[in-house]
Amino acid sequence: MSLLESTSKGFEELFGYKPVGVWSAPGRANLIGEHTDYNNGFVFPFGIDRRTYAAMAPRNDNRCRVGTSLGGALVEIELSHQKPEGLDWALYPLGVAWVMRQKMTGGFDLYLDSDVPVGAGLSSSAAVECAVAIAIDEIWEQGNSKKELALICQKAENEVAGAPTGIMDQTASMLAETDAAVLIDCKSLDTEVIELGLGKRDLVVAVIDTQVSHRHSDGGYRSRRDACELGAKTMGVESLRELAEADLPSAREKLDDLTYRRVRHVVTENQRVLDTVDALKAGELEKLGPLFLASHASMRDDFEISVPELDLAVETAMENGAIASRMTGGGFGGAAIALIAKDQLANLEQAVLAAFEAAGFGQPRVFAVSASAGAKRES
């Protein structure tokens, strides 16, 4: 049974009737551009072929009932002006509904299923938000564009779920296209779809999920964001997007060491995103290796969001045939990605499992993902 079928069946078993439709949205992997989004910078993610499915039907009252195959009891709330609180996982779908409530036409019943790994840096939360948002938008006939829905989802994650994330995850999940990544200018919200062309080179994106789980709402993410805001304020700019690498000597003089290193990561990472896009447009994939490794080193040393498991994953990938590898996602755990020939994937998996065992780490998961389409109605 497909995930689409199981989601529809799960809805019917839970609520006793059929949903009016099923919508889905992908998780995302970020090729490059970490912690640049909330600094108005550049990011370059793609939707993955792991998705969250949302089966939904409208109600005649203002009650919202949410169930899931992923554990946890049925959650019911009366949608009102009072912000939802204390609902754990249900804050993500119900937060979206709360942001969209001004034009609500009633409540809904919702059932969620997903194969996006949770806590792996593949944005399982954005996949939930975007699948729910595109479903609600249709049911409540709101007529939002996908870019507008991405902003709604970000607001829900920031204000209801309490995670101070930027716009990258939701934009990627909404606007993704097959065999392509989305260059996002997080200042203007302009997007450009860039063909990856991995398939014709028999390359895949391997995800090395360390299974060290992370949560964006924890303090480490917030402290990095605070440091970036302090750096921008001290440098007299609206955001770190306004700074170039030529400004770094001045920043070193004005900032304390920790704040300077946070700023240096963002400024240099923005340039690496643009250099990566240029390399792909030119078909020069050999340039991605140094760019990805410089990105990982910057996240490890300047932004200090890597962990030993991620460092080992990247090192092992590069020693076993990957043309490029780096950690992806918000850090403090999660996953690394590696661009590697499809026929070398099994060897990479064995090498990573052996390296983790030798280091005394928990067992990781290694699997390939392909660039997949964004949020859409499935049935």
Which residue numbers are catalytic? 169
The CA distance from 201 to 110, in Å, is 41
Contact assessment for residue 364 and residue 309, using Cβ atoms and an 8 Å cutoff = yes
Take residue 100 and report the two structure tokens written for it: 């969209």
The CA distance from 17 to 23, in Å, is 17
The CA distance from 160 to 88, in Å, is 11
Take residue 151 and report the two structure tokens written for it: 């902003």
The CA distance from 350 to 366, in Å, is 9
The CA distance from 358 to 315, in Å, is 14
Rounded to 5 degrees, what are φ and ψ at 245?
-60, -30
Number of alpha carbons in the 13 Å side-chain half-sphere of residue 165: 29
CA trace torsion 81, 86, 90, 91 (10° rounding): 50
